[in-house]
Chain A
C-alpha cells in the first residue's frame, strides 16, 4: 500500500511515453463561438427585459386613468360606456385573500408536521411527493378538477344552486379553494426551509425547560419562521394574482360582482365575479371584448401589483436576498 512498492521499478522508473502534441491555439474556434453565443444570449436577455418593461410602462401610462380604477365595468357595445375595472380589481383582491387564507394554515401545518414530527416515514415521503405533484399540476387541470368537485351536491353551500338543482360550482369560494393549491407548495417550501434553518439547540433549550413539543412549536419555532411564512405567502399571492385559467373556469365570468344570498360577506364570496386577469383576457381579441386600451390599463395595474408583491418578498427577506448567489 505504501510507496515502498509504488513508483519504484527495478532498474529505475519506466520511460515515459512520448508527450502528446498540444493543440494549436488555447482558444479554439468552437470556444470563441461559444463565447459569442453567450454574449448574444446575455444581450438578448437584456433587450427582451427592457423592451417588455418599457412597452408595458408606455402602454399603461397611456391608457390608465383614475376613473378606470374606480368605476364599475358595464357591458355595452359602445366602448366609451363600458366603464372601468373596479370590480375586477376587487375580485383580484378577494380571490388572493381567500386563496392565501386557505393556503397558509394548511401549508404551515404540513411543513411543521413534516419537519417536527414526520412519522411514519412512508407517510412523510408520500406527503412530500404529494406537494411536489400539486406544484407540478397545471392550473387548468386544477381548475377542471375543482369544477368537477364543487359541482357536486355536497358542496352546494359554496356557490349558487340553480332551480333544477344543478350546482353552479363557480364562485369566489370554489375558485379560492383551487387557488390555494397554487400557493400551497410555495408556502410549504419556504416554511419548511425556515424551520429547518432553526438550529437544534433552540429546540433542545425549550425542551430542557420542560416545554412540550406543541408549545415549543407555537411559542418558539413559528415566531422564528415568520419571515419564511411571510415570504411564502407573498410568493403565493403573486402567483394567485397572476393566474387566469382557474379564474376563467371557476369564477363565473360575470363582469360585476354578483352575490348569492343575502349575507353581507358570505354572499359575495358565494357569488361570481371577475378578476384583473380574466378582465384582460376578455378584453383582448381572444375574449369577447374589443377594448385593447382597457386591457392594457388593467394589465399594467396587474403588473404593478405583482411587482409590488415581489418587492415585498425582498423587503421581508431583507438584505439577505441581494447578497445571494448573484453578487460577486
Chain B
C-alpha cells in the first residue's frame, strides 16, 4: 500500500503566526516562499509517490476539443480541451463551482438530462464524435460512478449484473456469474460479499456501497470510467481502498476523477487538470502541476490560498 501522505498541519492561531505550515525554504524547485506567504509548490509535492507502473504506454481514448457548456445561457465550462488516456488517471481539480463536474458529466452526455443545458465543441471517443452516437451505446463504453453511493434496491448480484442484463439478450445467472465475480474482484469487493451475493445492496456499509457502484460500472467492461468525487462521502479507510483500486484499474480503463481533495489528486493522478470558473487553467503531469505550477492561480490553489 502506498504511504498515506498527511495533509498540511493547521495549527490554532494564537498570535499572528501563519496558519499553514510552510515547506522549508527552497521547496521543490529552489525558490523561497513568496512575500505574501503563499508557498511555491504544494506542501506535499516533494514527497515521492509509490505507485504500480503501467506496462503499456498511454493510449488516447477520448479527446475534448474546445468544449463549452452553458446552463440556461450561463456558461459552466468554457473552451476546454484535454485528452483522456488509458493507462493514466486524469484528475480534475478546482474549487466548488468551477465546472469540473459539468465537464465530467459531458463526457458521457449526462448533461443532456438537464433540460436547460447547451453545448458547443467536440468530444470524441476513439475519434468518433460522441454527439453523433446513440447515447445509450456511449454510456455503455463510458461509465460513471457518483458522489453519493447509489446502489439499486436489489441484491448485490442483481446490481452488478444489471448493466449486463440490460445490454444483451436474456442470460442465465450462471452465464453472468463469472462477469459479476470479475467485476467484484476488480473493485476489491469480492472477499467481503462473494459468499452471499444475494445480500441486499442497501445494507452494505458506505464504502462497500461505493465499491459496489464501481463494480457495477465495471461489469460491462467500459473503456472509460468517470468518477465524480467518489470518496467525499466516505471514511478514510474506504477512501484509501478506493484510491488503491483506482490506481490499479488505470492499466486497462481510462480513468477521469473529479476531486476537491488535493492530497487525493496527488496520490492517484498521472495527469491533472486545474479548472477555475469554467476554464481549464492548467493541464499537465501531476508532479509538474503540484510541484512547479506554471499559472499563478494554480500556484495559489495548490498552495491552499483558496478552495
Contacts and interface: CB of A to CB of B under 8 A. Distances in A.
Tell whether A and B belong to one assembly: yes
Interface of A: 1-8, 13-14, 16-17, 19-23, 26-27
Contact of A26 (B136, B185, B186, B220): B136
B241 interface: yes
B221 A19 contact: yes
A22 B168 contact: yes
B175 to A, nearest CB: 8
Contacts of B136: 26-27
B240 to A, nearest CB: 7
16 contacts: A1-B191, A2-B241, A3-B244, A6-B188, A6-B241, A7-B245, A7-B248, A13-B248, A16-B186, A17-B179, A20-B164, A20-B220, A22-B167, A23-B167, A23-B168, A26-B136
Contact of B244 (A1, A6, A19): A6
Contacts of A1: 191-192
A2 to B, nearest CB: 6
Contacts of A8: 248
A3 B164 CA distance: 25
A6 B242 CA distance: 11
Interface string B222-262: 00000000000000010011001100100010000000000
Contact of A3 (B134, B135, B245, B252): B245
A22 B171 CA distance: 12
A161 B73 CA distance: 79
Interface of B: 1, 134-137, 140, 164, 167-169, 171, 178-179, 182, 185-192, 220-221, 237, 240-241, 244-245, 248, 252
Contacts of B167: 20, 22-23
Contact of B185 (A2, A14, A21, A23): A14
B221 A16 contact: yes
Contacts of A13: 185-186, 248
Contacts of B137: 22, 26
Nearest to A4: B1
Nearest to A21: B168
Nearest to B185: A7
A27 B136 CA distance: 9
Contacts of B164: 20
Nearest to B237: A2
A21 B220 CA distance: 10
Given A2-B1, A3-B241, A7-B245, 15 more contacts: A1-B192, A3-B1, A3-B240, A3-B244, A7-B186, A7-B188, A7-B190, A14-B182, A17-B179, A19-B221, A21-B168, A23-B168, A26-B134, A26-B137, A27-B136
Nearest to A328: B115
B70 to A, nearest CB: 21
A8 B252 CA distance: 15
Nearest to A16: B182
Contacts of B187: 7
Name the 8 nearest CB pairs between A and B, nearest first.
Answer: A6-B188, A26-B136, A3-B241, A19-B221, A3-B188, A3-B244, A7-B188, A17-B178
Contacts of B191: 1, 5-6
B89 to A, nearest CB: 16
Contact of A20 (B1, B168, B190): B168
A14 B168 CA distance: 24
Contacts of A21: 168
A13 to B, nearest CB: 7
Contacts of B252: 16
A3 B168 CA distance: 32
A151 B169 CA distance: 67
A122 B292 CA distance: 71
A125 to B, nearest CB: 27
A13 B190 CA distance: 13
A14 B191 CA distance: 15
B231 to A, nearest CB: 13
B64 to A, nearest CB: 24
Contacts of B248: 7-8, 13
Contacts of B190: 7
Contacts of A7: 185-188, 190, 245, 248
A105 to B, nearest CB: 42
A3 B207 CA distance: 12
A23 B165 CA distance: 10
B179 to A, nearest CB: 6
A136 to B, nearest CB: 28
B182 A19 contact: no
A103 B252 CA distance: 69
Contacts of B134: 26
A6 B244 CA distance: 10
B176 to A, nearest CB: 8
A221 to B, nearest CB: 35
